[in-house]
């Protein structure tokens, strides 16, 4: 077959397809198509196609497309122009191709859906790629921040990372906050600071005597005390005190004639009285020889009680010791104390101990109720001369009241710790004594953002030194930290029981006069 013949055959096939689709004329020799066929078959007999008019495919296509355009613009009906040009009349729309309307609609809808899916698929690929890139970028950013936070030696980051680890590891129930996210070798490196301080303080024992403050142990009525008030209460700022007394003297003097100002409850109005160091004075109790001030830092708030007569301060155990501890109010009331602060640590499995089993040494009024643990804790107590002793336990010390804890804060007037000292930031309790014998009892609230998150050991030592402590030591802290005064707690403990605080084995108490 030559090339020309092949070309003619192709033309014939194209004409057959076009005439069948547009006019319903089937090619010669084809059988009648069934109703389900969408290609061949018209209705009735179709006239033969004049071959002389369509010997050239281009002429055929040109005429056919032109007549189609006229038919579409003119609408349905008999088309006389096709007879004029020698073309047979196009079959009516409803009887042309044997294609069902629903089939045509379905076919059109299917094509549209395929086109839509194709576009969505093309559009979806870039979106998925962008999401994947964002996810990977976020993961890389988190990984980078984690590495910086955990391993960086940048001073600011290292400081707060170490404090975070120390704070978590210093609790009984929340150590997982460090161990779950930070490698063991990092935790161990941080905690060596605490071990270094404990090792440094081993063997350091206080050996001193006090020069008792004149008239510290006497009950003096206001009319006799007024002229010498600032000698016995040198911590009070003179100008702010006198300004307060000008408008409140009558209400500040009790019926028995003693000056008693008590604005220590949370929410009480500010007296306007300040200490010589600028802290707010909450209470002045000349009947019992006590001053209470609020001490504040950038992230903490606490209460400092200054007791004039050290002989009033002792250790009072819970009456149920050995079975269960007591709330601090119960300990204070049973020991006739006007003021009390938590003292010893205790057996506290999972942070749910009941305070019944004291940890380490406990001596109350000369009676030893529990032995020293022989660990790295310091003995903290008063001898028969009312001098605060901090150091290793020795039988010859002849202590009348004592407990044990750590670390030492101030030794012979020198700060014994810096920064967190491996203890992080938490609620704290501490005891100290000045050279003239005044006892300092301090509680700093914590774990309460917006009010007080707690303080470091360095902060605790700074407060003690600000009020002239010559010796000072940390006591049990955390959720146990609490201060009681004049019939109610005045601090805000972080324990589950915000009203009463935790059950305690004992407390440092100040006997009421």
Per residue in 160-208, pLDDT tens? 898 899 899 888 778 888 999 899 999 999 999 999 999 999 989 999 9
Question: For helices 155-169 and 101-151, what crossing angle results, to 10°?
Answer: 90
Q: How far apart are CA 378 and CA 366, in angstroms?
A: 18
User: Which pLDDT score, from 0 to 100, does residue 319 have?
Assistant: 97
Query: Measured in whole angstroms, how far is the alpha carbon of residue 441 from the centre of its chain?
Result: 31
Q: 469-474 and 280-285: which strand pairing?
A: unpaired
The structure's pTM equals: 0.74
Summarize pLDDT for 64-88 with one digit per residue, the tens: 556 555 655 554 444 444 454 554 5
Tokens representing 119 are 């576009």
In this prediction, the residues of the chain whose per-residue pLDDT falls under 70 are 1-107, 111, 117-125
User: Which pLDDT score, from 0 to 100, does residue 25 have?
Assistant: 55
Domain spans of the chain, in order of start: 3-99, 113-201, 291-511
User: Which pLDDT score, from 0 to 100, does residue 35 have?
Assistant: 43
User: Which pLDDT score, from 0 to 100, does residue 44 have?
Assistant: 41
User: Which pLDDT score, from 0 to 100, does residue 112 have?
Assistant: 72
Q: What is the DSSP string of 363-400?
A: EETTEEEE----SSPEEEEEETT--EEEES--GGG-EE
Q: How far apart are CA 155 and CA 161, in angstroms?
A: 10
Tokens representing 467 are 């009020």
Residue 429 and residue 443 in contact, taking contact as beta carbons nearer than 8 Å: yes
Q: Which helix (H) or strand (E) holds 81?
A: helix 80-84
Tokens representing 290 are 């006590």
Which DSSP category does 415 fall into? Answer: E
Of 250, 251, 229, nearest in space to 238 by CA: 229
User: Which pLDDT score, from 0 to 100, does residue 131 have?
Assistant: 86
Of 274, 216, 208, nearest in space to 410 by CA: 208
Summarize pLDDT for 16-56 with one digit per residue, the tens: 665 655 555 555 555 444 444 443 444 344 444 444 444 45
Per DSSP, what are the bridge partners of residue 315? Answer: 508
CA dihedral over 278, 282, 286, 290, signed as positive or negative: negative
Q: How far apart are CA 211 and CA 215, in angstroms?
A: 12
Which DSSP category does 259 fall into? Answer: B
User: Which pLDDT score, from 0 to 100, does residue 333 have?
Assistant: 97
Q: Which helix (H) or strand (E) holds 9?
A: helix 3-23
Q: How far apart are CA 486 and CA 236, in angstroms?
A: 20
Instruction: Report helix, strand or coil for 409.
Output: strand
User: Which pLDDT score, from 0 to 100, does residue 496 have?
Assistant: 86
Residue 393 and residue 379 in contact, taking contact as beta carbons nearer than 8 Å: yes
Residue 28 and residue 48 in contact, taking contact as beta carbons nearer than 8 Å: no
User: Which pLDDT score, from 0 to 100, does residue 395 have?
Assistant: 81
Residue 240 has a CB neighbour count (10 Å cut-off) of 18
Of 389, 458, 466, 378, nearest in space to 426 by CA: 458
Name 255's Cβ contacts closer than 8 Å, sequence gap at least 6. none
Which DSSP category does 110 fall into? Answer: H
Q: How far apart are CA 246 and CA 483, in angstroms?
A: 30
Q: Which helix (H) or strand (E) holds 46?
A: none
């Amino acid at each position: 077959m030559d090339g020309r013949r092949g070309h003619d055959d192709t033309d014939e096939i194209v004409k057959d397809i076009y005439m069948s689709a547009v006019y319903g004329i089937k090619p010669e020799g084809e059988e009648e198509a069934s109703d389900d066929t969408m290609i061949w078959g018209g209705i009735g007999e179709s006239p033969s196609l004049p071959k002389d008019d369509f010997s050239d495919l281009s002429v055929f296509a040109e005429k056919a497309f032109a007549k189609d355009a006229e038919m579409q613009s003119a609408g349905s009906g008999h088309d006389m122009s096709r007879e004029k040009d020698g073309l047979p009349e196009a079959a009516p729309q409803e009887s042309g191709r044997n294609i069902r309307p629903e089939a045509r609609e379905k076919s059109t809808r299917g094509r549209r859906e395929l086109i839509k899916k194709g576009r969505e698929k093309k559009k979806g690929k870039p979106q998925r790629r962008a999401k994947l890139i964002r996810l990977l970028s976020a993961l890389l950013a988190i990984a980078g921040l984690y590495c910086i936070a955990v391993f960086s030696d940048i001073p600011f980051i290292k400081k707060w990372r170490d404090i975070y680890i120390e704070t978590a590891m210093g609790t009984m129930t929340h150590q997982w906050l460090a161990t779950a996210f930070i490698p063991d070798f990092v935790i161990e490196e941080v905690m060596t600071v605490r071990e270094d301080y404990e090792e440094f303080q081993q063997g350091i024992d206080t050996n001193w005597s006090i020069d008792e403050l004149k008239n510290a142990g006497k009950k003096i009525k206001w009319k006799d005390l007024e002229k010498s008030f600032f000698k016995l209460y040198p911590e009070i700022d003179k100008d702010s005190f006198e300004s307060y007394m000008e408008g409140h003297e009558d209400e500040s003097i009790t019926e028995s004639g003693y000056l008693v100002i008590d604005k220590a409850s949370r929410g009480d109005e500010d007296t306007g009285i300040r200490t010589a160091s600028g802290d707010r004075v909450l209470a002045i109790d000349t009947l019992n020889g006590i001053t209470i001030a609020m001490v504040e830092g950038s992230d903490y708030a606490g209460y400092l009680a200054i007791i004039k007569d050290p002989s009033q301060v002792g250790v009072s155990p819970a009456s149920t010791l050995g079975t269960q501890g007591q709330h601090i109010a119960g300990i204070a009331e049973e020991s006739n104390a006007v003021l009390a602060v938590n003292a010893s640590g205790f057996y506290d499995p999972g942070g749910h101990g009941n305070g019944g089993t004291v940890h380490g040494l406990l001596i109350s009024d000369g009676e030893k109720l529990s032995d020293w643990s022989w660990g790295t804790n310091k003995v903290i107590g008063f001898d028969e001369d009312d001098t605060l002793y901090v150091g290793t336990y020795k039988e010859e010390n002849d202590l009348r009241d004592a407990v044990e804890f750590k670390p030492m804060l101030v030794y012979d007037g020198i700060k014994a710790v810096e920064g967190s000292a491996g203890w992080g930031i938490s609620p704290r309790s501490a005891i100290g004594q000045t050279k003239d014998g005044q006892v300092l009892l301090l509680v700093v609230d914590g774990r309460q953002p917006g009010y007080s998150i707690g303080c470091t050991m360095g902060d605790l030592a700074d407060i003690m030194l600000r009020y002239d402590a010559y010796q000072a030591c940390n006591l049990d802290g955390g959720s146990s930290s609490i201060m009681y005064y004049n019939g109610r707690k005045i601090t805000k403990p972080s324990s589950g029981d915000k009203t009463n605080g935790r059950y305690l084995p004992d407390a440092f108490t100040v006997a009421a006069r």
